[in-house]
Amino acid sequence: MNIYFSGIGGVAIGPLSEIALDAGHEAQGSDLKSSLVTERLEKRGVMVAIGEQDGAFLRERHEKKPIDWFVHTAALPSDHPELALARELGIKTAKRDELLAHIISEKNLKLIAVAGTHGKTTTTGMIVWLAKYFGIPVSYSVGTTLSWAPSGRLVKGSEYFVYECDEFDRNFLHFQPYVSLITSLDYDHPDTYETEADYADAFKQFAQQSEKVFTWREYEAALGDNDNMHYLDTPDLSLKLHGEHNRRNASLILAALESFGLPAKYAADGLNKFPGTDRRFEKLADGLYSDYGHTPAEIEATLQMAKELSSDIILVYQPHQNVRQHQIKDDYRDVFTAAEKIYWLPTYLSREDASLAILTPEELTAEIANKESIEITDLSDELWETIQRALSDKKLVLLMGAGSIDTWGREKLNA
Q: What is the pLDDT of residue 146?
A: 86
Distance of alpha carbon 61 from alpha carbon 91, whole angstroms: 12
Is residue 333 in some structural domain? yes
Give the amino acid at 59: R
H helices within 95-154, ranges in order?
Answer: 96-106, 120-133
The DSSP secondary-structure symbol of 89 reads: T
Number of domains forming the structure of the chain: 3
CA distances from residue 69 to 19, 22, 86, 141, 231 in whole angstroms, order as listed: 15, 16, 9, 20, 39
Same domain, 125 and 263: yes
- 241-289 pLDDT, tens per residue? 999 999 999 999 999 998 888 777 789 999 999 999 888 999 999 999 9
Residues in the chain: 415
| Mean pLDDT estimate for the chain | 95
CA distances from residue 276 to 218, 241, 387 in whole angstroms, order as listed: 26, 10, 23
Is residue 141 in some structural domain? yes
Q: Parallel, antiparallel, or unpaired for β 313-317 and 341-344?
A: parallel
Report the CATH number at residue 170.
3.40.1190.10
Instruction: Name the helix (H) or strand (E) containing 82.
Output: helix 81-88
What pTM value is reported for the model? 0.83
Distance of alpha carbon 320 from alpha carbon 326, whole angstroms: 11
* Residue 6 belongs to domain spanning: 2-95
Same domain, 115 and 8: no
Report the CATH number at residue 409.
3.90.190.20
Q: What is the pLDDT of residue 86?
A: 98
Is residue 380 in some structural domain? yes
Rounded to the nearest 10 degrees, what angle do helices 244-259 and 120-133 cross at? 50
- 68-83 pLDDT, tens per residue? 999 998 878 889 999 9
Whether residue 396 has pLDDT greater than 80: yes
Q: What is the pLDDT of residue 352?
A: 87
Q: What is the pLDDT of residue 263?
A: 72
Express as a percent the part of the chain with pLDDT over 90: 87
Confidence of residue 137 (pLDDT cuts 50, 70, 90): very high
Same domain, 289 and 315: yes
Distance of alpha carbon 137 from alpha carbon 159, whole angstroms: 8
Whether residue 411 has pLDDT greater than 90: yes
Q: Of 271, 294, 323, which residue sits at a domain end? A: 271
Same domain, 82 and 192: no
Same domain, 315 and 252: no
**Which of 40-49, 190-199, 261-270 is predicted least confidently?**
261-270
Same domain, 122 and 206: yes
Burial class (CB in 10 A: 0-12, 13-18, 19+), 21: middle
Same domain, 315 and 181: no
What is the mean pLDDT of the segment spanning 15-38?
94
Distance of alpha carbon 231 from alpha carbon 375, whole angstroms: 42
Same domain, 116 and 238: yes
Residue 337 region by backbone torsions, left for phi larger than 0, else alpha for psi between -120 and 50, else beta: alpha
